Chains A and B, each alone.
Chain A
Amino acid sequence: MKKYFKISKEKIIFSLMALVLFVFPLIRLILLSLTKEDGSFSLDQYYYFLSDSRALESVINTLQISISASLISALCGIITAFLVGYTNIKYKNLIEALVLMPFVIPAYVITLAWTGLTGPGSVLSQYLAAHMIPGIDLFTIHGIIGMLGICHMSVVHVTVVHMLRKVPQEVGWAARASGCSQWKTLLKVDLPMVMPAIAGGTVLAFLADVDNFAIPAFLGISSNIPVLSTYIYEKIIGFGPNSFTYGAVLSVVLSLIALSGALLSTLLVHERSYQESAKENFNIRIWFSPPVRRVIEIGTVSLLTIFSIVPLVYMAITALLRGFTFSLDAECLTLDNYIFVFTNDGVREAVINSLFMAGTASVICLILGTLIAYMSVRKQSKVASFLNQCASVMYSVPGIVLALALIFYWSQPIPGLNTGLYGTFTIIILGYITRYMIIQIRNSSAAFLAVAEAAEQAALASGSNSITLWVKIIMPQIAIPALAGTFFIFLSAFTELTMSSIMASASTKTIGLQIFNLQQAGDYSLAAALSAVIVLFMGIIYGLQKLIRLLLARRKTYESDN
């Protein structure tokens, strides 16, 4: 009896969590889009949407930008994945790091860096103007497409490179032995076999493009190129009549676009992929002759450096300048911008806010996510897997939509109960938990799957109780992969902009918002200095994480030697 009672209590808690955290907010959003101010059912706002030319322009822009950008990401990601996965080029780790950088560093920092590099008065623009070459204007639809394409190529790269490595080498050999040349084999055998990954990765990039707020906000708002995410932002910030209801309608439309993309991916990925479980194979399959290899290495590394590093370095340097002209003379240099970053109250507040909210959210995610992962992996709990699925849906709902849904729901979780949460830390922390929970669940699940269940049973059979089991057996084994997830959540939340752009109030400003406000106000140098400091901070954190991993890994091998 006791056991039965215990299980059902768990079920209730998990179900409530799934409903309150994930399901109810979305339902509320949909309902809100269907009601009038007095609460009665109405499609008025949808009719208004159909007649709103700016909304239609946003939809068309969103589609055009996301499709073009995801194709660019796909092209670049496939090329780098092929080079890294199949060929004998060197510096593969460097190349992968350079590919991943624009994805890990917040998109608004990258965009800010690029606008500095290509803006009027920059060294590049002056050089181009002097040689009668038209300059690069990022504040256009093509600029937005290009930035998104660069920032999300890593999504395609990662998906494709793993699949490429899973293609058994014999499969290519079989084609060669059947009389097919090397390049034709790639086209006829390898390409079709990784097609699901290419399609899946491209759709993921598309979803990221649809979701992205920072890039169209930085580049599109001032040049009047609305996309759905920035249009929703404008409506909510504008506080006009019906703005929340209309925001809900736009959110539903944006979610439908994202949803159709996600559906497309499940259709494409579930094709005959019979080597799903195949091991990754790191053999070199394509040998370039030394001169060709050299050219490819130099070309790839320098192109990626130009895309990923040069703008950031340029940004950090220009933040040292007094005026707008680039010159490294002593009298033109100043530390004022950096001093501002470290002394300004607003900046300090934003940093503390972000640290606090990201820290709280990531710790809660670590505990809850690991618990959910344990329940669904080890206890095969159906409710836990349901929670898992809800969380993954939440991750594919565009951030701005999620933020809006949470505002609606948490301001009044039960009709009549006004919580006054809107504008507080709590709602933003809730937002981060809802958004990033799935990352923790996935990392912790993978960690649990890697620990043999027999190892747990062996501990129990050796007479350990459940506390020693967790402390001595389970935690040491899952710590590194589980914490890697927490770490990623912390950095994502710490530098997040999309959700806080509409959730934060004057007193709960985040770093992302601070940089965004500085940029919108035209304070490029201040925004650049703050961004440079943030990138440095992220670099230090990454370095620390690497170091800890290294130390722990050494301990592990030391133990197994004995």
Chain B
Amino acid sequence: MSLIIDKVSMQYGKTKVFSDVSININKGEFLSILGPSGCGKTSLLKILAGFVKPTGGQIMMDDVLYSDKYKTLPPEKRDMGMVFQSFALWPHMTVRQHVEFPLQCRHKYMSEAEKENLVQSALDITGLTDLQNRYPNELSGGQRQRVSLARAIAAKPALLLMDEPLSALDANLRVSMRKEIRRIHRLTGSTVIFVTHDQGEALSMSDRVMLFNKGHIEQIDTPKEIYINPRTPFTASFIGHCNFIEGQWQNNSFKAYDGNLSYIGEVAPAFRDSNICPLRPEQLRLNDKGVGIPVTVQDKQYMGREIHYVITNKKNIYNIYTPMEEEFAVGEELYATCR
């Protein structure tokens, strides 16, 4: 066990931000904290970093007490590095000075040659060697983010905290930086805590995803588990954009009330108990053969690889993604079934 978060709570005055958050994070693990904005994920990260004191619970790192309600180890004494959404670069320092900074602060007794090695390797890993004498205002957005990364990993911290590091980048860069961060994670072996509101980032990068909503944990699982087997309605709709079909469960088989739609498989008790079946848009199919729940096509978006339909059945609205070849017109009366 590397990092233990035990029943941590946070409130400002009477406003509860979150309560009783617990998770054990393994050494070298890549954990994403995912959630909509305002869910408390950034507050949790600030507590992990030591900028904010929690109002309850405790955080232990390798048997060292990091935070509880009485005491917080100041950020500079924690074995960590941090990457910020705004990059938080220092305009008066060069790229190289940024990377040297944590080494000067954390490893006062390290030999110059060793420091030099670490600086060089951080620059190499992030591909900044050629830019090392530039100032932040002479760099592009992606390069600035690399500097922020290089600074965070330079002192080889056991824990790497990332606060929405990709949000300030443009769409294409965001996708390519995902790979970069994965690669850096593999090379450094640090434990990474990655805060994001983008489920694509969380699913594609993490070993485990912790889904946060309104101050509590909805689910902690591997990306695959959390996608395929959501435990709560929130997880199902936030991660998989699931449709909730009403119907009757019998053991492992589900039959919809509104038409001839059935599904066979395991779902979490939360769904079974409230007589609904969560089905992702790609799990549904449309046909004009009269089999399934009767629906009307309300809207249709051509996405290239697939077509996204919004369909209605009485007052229910469902999303369905179909392959290109299954094309229907808006207003058409169709039937929906499960794949």
A interface residue numbers (CB < 8 A to B): 168, 170-171, 173-182, 184, 188-189, 192-193, 195, 271-275
Contacts and interface: CB of A to CB of B under 8 A. Distances in A.
A177 B152 contact: yes
Contacts of B88: 168, 170-171, 173-174
Interface in B75-91: 75-77, 80-82, 84-86, 88-91
Across the A-B interface, give the 5 residue pairs with the lowest CB-CB distance, nearest first. A179-B105, A178-B102, A177-B82, A170-B88, A179-B106
A272 to B, nearest CB: 5
Contact of A173 (B84, B105, B155): B84
A193 B90 contact: yes
Given A170-B86, A272-B137, A176 B75 contact: yes
B151 A174 contact: yes
25 contacts: A168-B88, A170-B85, A170-B86, A171-B88, A174-B82, A175-B90, A175-B101, A175-B105, A176-B51, A176-B74, A177-B49, A177-B75, A177-B76, A178-B106, A178-B151, A180-B101, A182-B74, A188-B101, A192-B90, A193-B91, A195-B92, A272-B91, A272-B92, A274-B91, A274-B136
Contacts of A175: 90, 101, 105
Contacts of B161: 177
B218 to A, nearest CB: 28
Contacts of A189: 90
Contacts of A174: 82, 84, 88-90, 148, 151
A177 B74 CA distance: 9
B91 A173 contact: no
| Interface of chain A, main secondary structure | helix
Interface in B238-290: none
B135 interface: yes
| Interface of chain B, main secondary structure | mixed
Interface string B155-182: 1000001000000000000000000000
B84 A192 contact: no
Contacts of A195: 92
Nearest to A180: B105
Given A170-B85, A274-B91, A274-B137, 8 more contacts: A175-B90, A176-B49, A177-B82, A178-B81, A189-B90, A193-B90, A195-B92, A272-B135
Contacts of B137: 272, 274
Contacts of B75: 173, 176-177
B191 to A, nearest CB: 15
Interface in B101-156: 101-102, 105-106, 135-137, 148, 151-152, 155
A9 B279 CA distance: 73
A181 B102 CA distance: 11
B43 to A, nearest CB: 14
A179 B76 CA distance: 4
Contact of A275 (B80, B91, B135): B91
A176 B50 CA distance: 9
A267 B85 CA distance: 32
Contacts of B155: 178-179
A170 B82 CA distance: 10
A16 B51 CA distance: 59
A170 B91 contact: no
